[in-house]
Structure 1
Amino acid sequence: MNSKIQYRHTITTLSLGAEEKRDSGDAPKPPEDNFAPARQALAELDCDVLIHAGGISFGQESHYISIFEKQSQRAEHVILWLTSPGGDPDTAYQISRLLQKRYQKVSVFINGWCKSSGTLICLGANELIMDDLGQLGPLDIQILNREEFGERLSGLNPIEALKSISAQSLELLKQQFLNVRFGGGLSTKQALEVATNLTGQLMSPITAQLDIMKYGEFTRSMRIAVEYGQRLAKSCRGNNLKPDAINLLTTGYPSHGFVIDFDEARESLFNEVSEPSENLKLVAKTLQPFVDTWAGGANNSAMIIDVRHALGVPFTLESASNQGNQDDEPNAEVTPASKRKGKPAKERAKNPAQSETADDDSGKNDDEPGQ
Structure 2
Amino acid sequence: MNFWDIFWIIFILSSISPIVRQRVIEAERFRLIQTLERKRGSRVITLIHRQETMNLFGIPIARYINIEDSEEILRAIRLTPEDMPIDLILHTPGGLVLAAEQIAHALKNHKGKVTVFVPHYAMSGGTFIALAADEIIMDENAVLGPVDPQLGEYPAASILNAINRKGADKVEDKTLILGDVAEKAIRQVKESVFELLKDKMPEEKAKEIAEILSTGTWTHDYPITVEEAQKLGLPVKVGLPKEIYALMNLYPQSPGSRPSVQYIPVPYQPYKGGANNKKS
Aligned: 1:214 with 2:175: no
Counterpart of 2:48? 53
Task: Name the SS of the counterpart of 2:220 in structure 1.
Answer: coil
Instruction: Tell me the number of residue pairs that the alignment of Structure 1 and Structure 2 aligns.
Output: 219
- For residue 236 of structure 2, what is the aligned residue in structure 1? 273
Q: What TM-score, normalized by structure 1, do the two folds share?
A: 0.51
Q: How does 1:28-107 map to 2 (within 5 A)?
A: 40-54=35-49, 55-70=64-79, 76-107=84-115
Query: How far off its partner does 1:59 sit?
Result: 4.0
Residue 181 (structure 1) aligns with: none
Question: What is the CA distance between 1:96 and its match in structure 2?
Answer: 1.5
CA distance in 2, matches of 1:114, 1:16: 23
Q: Partner residue of 1:158?
A: 159
| 2:147–2:213 contact (8 Å) kept in structure 1 | yes
Cα-Cα RMSD: 3.5
User: Quick check: 1:160–1:254 contact (8 Å CA) kept in 2?
Assistant: no
- CA distance change for structure 1 residues 56 and 285 in 2, over 3 Å: closer, same or farther? same
* Preserved CA contact (<8 Å) 2:83 2:111: yes
SS of equivalent residue, structure 2 residue 217: coil
Instruction: Give how far 1:248 is off.
Output: 0.6
Q: Secondary structure at the match of 2:109?
A: helix
RCO higher in structure (CA 8 A, sep ≥6)? 1
Distance 1:162 1:259 in 2: 27
Match 1:285 to one of 245, 264, 268: 245
Deviation string, structure 1 residues 297-341 (Cα, Å, up to 9, x no partner): xxxxxxxxxxxxxxxxxxxxxxxxxxxxxxxxxxxxxxxxxxxxx
Change in Cα spacing, 1:78 to 1:39, as seen in structure 2 (3 Å) is: closer
Deviations 1:225-264 (A, max 9, x none): 1121122224x5x348834100011225231100101000
Q: Give, as a single letter, the amino acid of the residue that structure 2 aligns with 1:275.
A: V
Pairwise mapping of residues 345-356 of structure 1 onto structure 2 (< 5 A)? none
Q: Distance in 1 between matches of 2:20 and 2:218?
A: 37
SS in 2 for 1:125: coil
1:118 Cα deviation from its structure 2 partner:
1.5
1:124 aligns with 2:132: yes
Q: Do residues 223 (structure 1) and 183 (structure 2) align? A: no
CA 1:88/1:269 → structure 2, altered by over 3 Å: closer, same or farther?
Answer: farther
> Aligned partner of 1:273: which letter?
V
Q: Which residue of 1 aligns with 2:119?
A: 111
Q: Select 2:147's aligned residue among 139, 148, 167.
A: 139
Mark the structure with the bigger radius of gyration.
Answer: 1
Alpha-carbon distance in 2 for matches of 1:10, 1:70: 29
> AA paired with 1:119?
T
Quote how far apart the aligned CAs of 1:44 are.
Answer: 1.9
Other structure's SS at 1:254 match: coil
Give the 3 Å change call, closer, same or farther, for CA 10–120 of structure 1 in structure 2.
Answer: farther
Write out per-residue CA displacement over residues 195-222 of structure 1, whole angstroms, 9 at most, x where no aligned residue.
Answer: xxxxxxxx67x95468111111222221
* Aligned residues of 2:156 and 2:179 also touching (Cα < 8 A): no
Give the 5 Å matches for 1:184-203: none
| 5+ long unaligned stretches in structure 2 | 1-18, 50-63, 255-280
Distance 2:77 2:21 in 1: 19
TM superposition shift of 1:276: 2.3
Residues 296-335 of structure 1: matches in 2 within 5 Å? none
- Give 3-state SS (helix, strand or coil) of 1:13's partner: helix
Structure with the higher helix share, 1 or 2: 1
Partner of 1:368: none
Distance in 1 of aligned mates of 2:96 and 2:179: 20
Normalising by the residue count of structure 2, what TM-score does the alignment of the two structures yield? Answer: 0.65
**Does the CA-based 8 Å contact 1:135-1:259 persist in structure 2?**
yes
Gaps of 5+ in 1: 1-8, 18-32, 145-151, 166-202, 295-371
SS in 1 for 2:40: coil
1:82–1:109: 8 Å Cα contact kept in structure 2?
Answer: yes
Give the one of 246, 250, 255 matched to 2:219.
Answer: 255
Q: Distance in 2 between matches of 1:10 and 1:209?
A: 58
1:87/1:142 contact within 8 Å kept: no
